[in-house]
Structure 1
């Protein structure tokens, strides 16, 4: 019989193998002692989308290959009017405006993306125009880059800032977003586009718990070595194995740390929900099954395995690398995990299935989908939207190729109905404009011709953009980009967020023009902002 090596990601966290309980533990409580977490969320997705069922026919694939085989429904995409700067700018502006948070009340703005349009100038330095025009120049944070993981790096960095002695009392904003496109071929249906902006602070309704684990390796599963193209080099099967191996490692280490604090066995039963990074839904289903398999390896005596105990015994002594392409094992645990997937994972898949893979934003579109699902009216049920989610625990798994992965958990400590109301997902999804696969292909071909080029003006029609969308006006002869905004709808939902929120609403009347320069008006306003920050700092002590 084969035994697991000591370094195996699947090694069971038995009581004797757990962290020594005589050692001091860095985390004495499962929640952040200052309630650091997410106050609000906003997602931006483009108006254009293509149906995966139509893309199947256009690409000559068998019926169901993309809709069942990949588990995807639709895919979002942008034309030449939008780039990563404009996409993230729209998400951040909408977040501040919907939650009535003044730009002067933001002390940190951090970005996660892998969509590069400049090898030096960060996306963050374009986004700060939204704050500079109100006199706010004192904003920490910059871009984080590692495939799909950058958004999580930005979030954890920002959470640490809010919890630290350096925090000056102001809110922070994390924005993660990407435009995922692939060259013609089998990977093209796994593209997508979205950006998620999050409002971070103390005493939040969605609190980051202190236990987390990570798994990092040197891998070439997905990377972008050709700097003249936005298309990646992808080894699909290898990337799937890397994802699952990172999941194994994170879950094992997370369980060991969590058990050292809680003094009880951790299984999937601990979580109300699980949100997984979603390149495509089929991999999410496999990952849910993989976590059940991890529970089996760690403790095959659990009640859920009793009925199939004899059939499952043969999987106990496989080496980890033997299990990743074992179809029999995958089938057995996918079937076993079916109820868990439906109850814990499926409520988070709406946006990932509708928008496609948004890379750094992918997991966070899943979290927002989950919040939407909590507050969505159910047939024949009375839902208290202010209390429906309180007390729930959510396990999060973030993965980025190359590779980087982290597992952490969130606990819902307060109402989240305001987040669902502000996001207004169903209505916004209904307002998308579906283009044909031929038009989608033409848009991507046009992007290819303009990628990395200077001195051009977009040819797209701004009337096809959602209200409030920022768009690219021009790329000049030196590669400098300027932006403008479609007027905001006067009927858009806003909320008066919480007793601790600062309700100074920025102007949203008409279109606003932005470039890389900052006007004298903003410079004159800088002194009052410094005074405001000082007042915040005193309050934070």
Structure 2
């Protein structure tokens, strides 16, 4: 897809790899080039010194740069409504989604991740040996042993850099967040050698024919993690909840399709949200008390809030749910009066309200203004591309950056909720840099996402019949061997990696479309 708006052909990249050699005592720490910029700019934070040598924390570890990839074709949800003979608005209004991206047989999880990593490295102009850890989060498993990370090592071969820690993490849609935490933990440990970490999240979300199929999607996100970042992970502020449930799982290795208990999955999501938010609030309030601040934490302390988004309406319900948590925690009349229209629900317990439609309606009305201010902008990618599982939350982060200026975001705190069925969930937050000046790290990060609407609009619209035929084709080739995928690579964005062949021993060979 087009990552450089000044170019006429989507997906064409012109950056070359800088021949700088990174060492533990002299990491390049270069700022990435903005898509709209014609002159490369560099990281200006100075050399990164490994923790083992300094016995101090690296400063402001977080996200330095991002790349977002999605397939070159989509199906319109209104076409699917007609094709599936359901009432108008079932998907567009009921799910809150307009388009759904999807992959042909030519693309798999390996090719998606190859593409997004290659593009991030080329755009940042980083040397391939400046990466010391690479983590992959995915639930799109095509091999029960061989990790996606091992395939990505093909990109590092020419640099000679084989000293790269990290491997795949799998638990439904949570793997990307676990990978991000692992990357930050490595950087704040004695094992950090001064190089960058990279986190890759990607999935192909497909469902069997039926009600769940319109909630699919496909995409990948790559994030460069390092010190002095414009998006800093709040240290010590993670609320996590994990338990054993069967709301969504994939026990049958002969098919791409999951087993889903939709009603249970929504309840598990909301229960995990309640639990994670409670832990996060307690931790941040403890930090505040140590700093002499004695007051409750509420959503008012988050300028933006992003969520894992299985479908967009779920996100709106989730923000409303957080407001309900704040309402029940309010301890005096002044605090309670802040929540108009919820007085009748004061005596309810969280665990008794997951299926309370009257409460849900009141909450969505009470939280609508907050949703429009804090969360709606983050749903642009999900609205137009659908669910991307592990990368869904980070697609929302990219959307938030694409819909706001650096000045709008500067100094804010972004709350983030990550959920993976089965289940694993965390609530954490990112502090945005105060510096939004031209050429600042924040301004460059924001500008790198600013053309997201244009890139989404450059995709090809496929009919519901064509989409269904490609889904049938994916079923046909799922475990097939000794074949080359059907299709013309001209239908892919320039620079996209694709599956060229699967041999008789299931070994996969990839190639890259011309740039």
> Which deviates the most, 186-195 or 316-325?
316-325
In 2, are the aligned partners of 1:371 and 1:416 still within 8 Å (CA)? no
Once the two structures are superposed, residues 412-453 of structure 1 have per-residue CA deviations (whole angstroms, 9 ceiling, x without a partner) of 124423223333312211210010000000000000011122
1:382-393 → structure 2 map (5 Å cutoff): 385=406, 387-393=407-413
2:105 matches 1:85 = no
Per the TM alignment, residue 292 of structure 1 is displaced from its structure 2 partner at its CA by 0.3
Question: Mean alpha-carbon deviation: is it higher for 247-256 or for 425-434?
Answer: 425-434
* Deviation of the 1:149 alpha carbon: 0.2
Alpha-carbon distance between aligned partners in 2 of 1:181 and 1:427, rounded to the nearest angstrom: 25
Matching residue of 1:374: 404
TM-score relative to the length of structure 2: 0.85
1:315 is displaced (CA, Å) by: 1.9
2:337 and 2:58 mapped to 1: Cα distance?
39
In the alignment, which residue of structure 1 is the partner of 2:350?
A: 320
Instruction: Determine the C-alpha separation between the residues in 1 that align with 2:127 and 2:384.
Output: 32
Summarize the alignment of residues 106-185 of structure 1 with structure 2, pairs less than 5 Å apart: 106-185=131-210
2:448 corresponding residue in structure 1: 422
Q: State how far apart, in whole Å, the 1-side matches of 2:481 and 2:455 are.
A: 34
Alignment of 1:142-541 (within 5 A): 142-210=167-235, 211-263=237-289, 264-299=295-330, 301=332, 303=334, 305-306=336-337, 312-375=342-405, 385=406, 387-413=407-433, 414=435, 415-423=441-449, 424-488=451-515
Distance 2:466 2:266 in 1: 30
Superposed CA deviations along residues 333-379 of structure 1, whole A, max 9, x for unmatched, are 1100001000001111100111100000000000010011113xxxx
Is 1:296–1:302's contact at 8 Å kept on the other side of the alignment?
A: no
Q: Which residue is equivalent to 1:38?
A: 63
Aligned residues: 446
After TM superposition, the score normalised by the length of structure 1 is: 0.81
- The DSSP-based 3-state class of the residue aligned with 2:409 is coil
Q: Deviations over 1:120-151 (max 9, x none)?
A: 00000001111122211110000000000000
| 2:330–2:336 contact (8 Å) kept in structure 1 | no
Report SS of the residue matched to 2:200: strand
Structure 1: how far apart are the matches of 2:432 and 2:58? Answer: 14
| Distance change (3 Å), C-alpha of 1:456 and 1:304 | farther
CA RMSD of aligned residues (A): 1.4
Aligned twin of 1:538 = none
Q: Is the 8 A contact 2:78 2:98 kept in 1?
A: yes
2:342/2:363 contact within 8 Å kept: no
Aligned to 2:29: none
SS at match of 2:309: coil
2-side partners of 1:57 and 1:338: how far apart? Answer: 30
| Structure 1 stretch displaced more, 295-304 or 123-132 | 295-304
Range with bigger deviation, 130-139 or 90-99: 130-139
Q: How big is the shift at 1:98? A: 0.7
SS of residue matched to 2:183: helix
- CA distance in structure 2 between the partners assigned to 1:34 and 1:95 by the alignment: 23
User: Post-superposition shift, 1:308?
Assistant: 6.2
Distance in 1 between residues matched to 2:335 and 2:387, nearest whole Å: 33
Partners of 2:174 and 2:418 within 8 A in 1: yes
> 1:392 & 1:250 partners in 2: Cα distance?
21
DSSP-derived class of the 1:349 partner? helix
Give the CA deviation at 1:205: 1.0
Distance 2:112 2:334 in 1: 47
User: Could you tell me which residue of structure 2 aligns to residue 57 of structure 1?
Assistant: 82
- Distance, in Å, in 2 between the alignment partners of 1:198 and 1:361 is 11
Partner SS for 1:133: helix
CA contact (8 A) 1:98 1:422 kept: no
Return closer, same or farther for 1:307/1:143 CA change in 2, 3 Å cut-off.
closer
Distance in 1, matches of 2:446 and 2:111, equals 24
Distance apart, 1:274 and its partner CA: 0.1
Secondary structure in 1 matching 2:229: coil
Shift of 1:305: 4.5
- In structure 2, relative to structure 1, the CA distance for the partners of 1:304 and 1:320 (3 Å cut) is closer
Structure 1 residues without counterparts, runs of 5 or longer: 1-31, 376-384, 489-541
Q: Are 2:110 and 2:151, in contact at CA under 8 Å, matched by a contact in 1? A: yes
Once the two structures are superposed, what CA deviation does each residue of 1:60-83 show, in whole Å capped at 9, x if it has no partner? 111101000000110000101100
